[in-house]
Chain A
């Protein structure tokens, strides 16, 4: 793996290439980087920002596939799931392929989930409520 990586690197900077290539190195696939995972998971909330401040208006408890999770007051279910590291929201109807959100503003219907038993809920527009039960949707979903 390493050997291949370095061969590619030499290709990238080959003087023969006519197209502009960067002089700096770009992160090539390197399984060694995985070691970062071993520490505590880094927070998915933005703690520091040069322009914005995100005040925590209170914690909201909810359930994802039966697991208890916490989100924040005033956010959507999709944002709360993303903050908890959940990316797979449903499986597509015909292909069964995994889907997450795509537009996050209620325009693409990629984020349909079962919310309190109600299938096809657009979780990117649905505000998070205390105790709400969120489940992955499979295909079209069934009415409870």
Chain B
């Protein structure tokens, strides 16, 4: 069986940055992504990104993906694209947890950088040289990969929303619409109703118009537009109605979407009687939020907590992006829905810390770690970082492996 120091699952901005960082520090890295093109969400973002200059602000998402990919390809890291991770095996959960608790106690006086396991006399060496095994499925074969540390950077999946006929062909996630038109150059439909006015809803509406597709309206259940003013203003200038306090009641059609019924909603978000209207559209595009893709982390047995601000269930993690299992890290949207710049920084943090765990303490790694952590703090203190900062703070409040009832409705992972 193939083995590596560091297995990184997901080739979005978080996974790419983790791989670049760890590989530069000298760790042996395998990056696995299920699509043929690296970059995750970035490959279909044709707009210029917001954020700070250092994090590619003003660069189009797809160009960031190319830059990062070139950087990684110049390093000795191995890249397995077109390969899905379909399972995680091995590693004794309780032993690992105990080991981490011991390291935490020992490391709690120090710099915030944990004592790597191998340096800790109280932690017994695990019997295997590698701590777990990933099951990999590519198009024609199933293989295994042993690893010492795992970084999950699997991103997030799109949410659906309840309405009549929401399963009809023609009801698409916003990401699907983007993939179809920005990656393959195929129009998803001719006239679209966009559900959700967050940044994704607004940006994808604009991209639809750029592709020559009509946007009938954007509906938003809340009384105010969710996304940034710049994006909403662009749409308004093009005459696209953004209907706040409106929702979609049903999709019309038998075999595919032929129309949509929308209506106004009150403050309680319930439909207001006699306000239903029919819209002639052939596509309903849903941009109603994302949920972290945590399957691998659930399977790893690390502590999971429910934090609505982060998008649902996320693996508990500390400022080093380490979960309650010391050999399992996470980075990017899977650790809470945020943005590309924070995903890249989290990737760097996870990559640097994991590299130290396999290679031993290293001043370069420490520098990357503290710099990236400081930048993350700065971004989250900024005007748009409120929600994520709040979510991460709530995460820090709950103890990972002790099983105590965490504060304010955070629920520990039920035992599987």
Contacts and interface: CB of A to CB of B under 8 A. Distances in A.
Contacts of B185: 45-46, 49, 52, 54
A88 B171 CA distance: 11
A29 B280 contact: yes
A131 interface: no
Contacts, number: 138
A30 B191 CA distance: 14
B241 A24 contact: yes
A45 B184 CA distance: 9
B169 interface: yes
Contact of A46 (B187, B216, B254): B187
A125 B37 CA distance: 11
A101 B173 CA distance: 9
B196 to A, nearest CB: 15
Interface stretch (B174-182, B321-329, B362-370): B174-182
A142 interface: no
Contacts of A125: 34-35
Interface in A101-117: 101-108
A104 B186 contact: no
A98 B168 contact: yes
A59 B181 CA distance: 18
A26 B216 contact: yes
Contact of A100 (B34, B46, B170, B187): B170
Interface stretch (B88-96, B270-278, B336-344, B406-414): B270-278
B170 A108 contact: no
A19 B274 CA distance: 14
Contacts of B278: 28-29
A89 interface: yes
A36 to B, nearest CB: 9
A11 B279 contact: no
Nearest to B259: A29
B277 A12 contact: yes
B84 interface: yes
A79 B245 CA distance: 34
A27 interface: yes
A97 B167 contact: yes
Nearest to B267: A19
B245 A19 contact: yes
Contacts of A21: 243
B241 A101 contact: no
Given A11-B274, A26-B241, A27-B280, A46 B181 contact: yes
Nearest to A53: B185
B347 interface: no
Contacts of B173: 102-104, 108
A104 B180 CA distance: 8
Contact of B186 (A44, A99, A102): A44
B111 interface: no
A12 to B, nearest CB: 7
B288 interface: no
Given A19-B264, A49-B211, A103 B157 contact: yes
A88 B254 CA distance: 11
A103 B158 contact: yes
Given A46-B212, A100-B170, A105-B35, A76 B256 contact: no
A105 B36 CA distance: 11
B316 interface: no
A58 interface: no
Nearest to B165: A97
A11 B256 contact: no
Interface in B251-270: 254-256, 259, 264
Question: Which 7 pairs show the lowest CB-CB distances between chains A and B?
Answer: A100-B169, A54-B185, A29-B278, A104-B176, A79-B184, A87-B169, A104-B179
Interface of A: 8, 11-12, 17, 19-22, 24, 26-30, 33, 42, 44-52, 54, 72, 75-76, 79, 82-83, 87-89, 92, 97-108, 124-125, 127
29 contacts: A12-B277, A19-B245, A19-B264, A26-B217, A26-B277, A27-B280, A29-B259, A29-B280, A44-B187, A46-B185, A46-B187, A52-B46, A72-B184, A87-B169, A97-B168, A98-B254, A98-B256, A99-B167, A99-B169, A100-B170, A104-B173, A104-B175, A105-B35, A106-B34, A106-B35, A107-B157, A107-B293, A125-B34, A127-B36
Given A46-B211, A83-B184, 7 more contacts: A26-B277, A28-B278, A45-B186, A87-B169, A100-B168, A104-B180, A106-B34
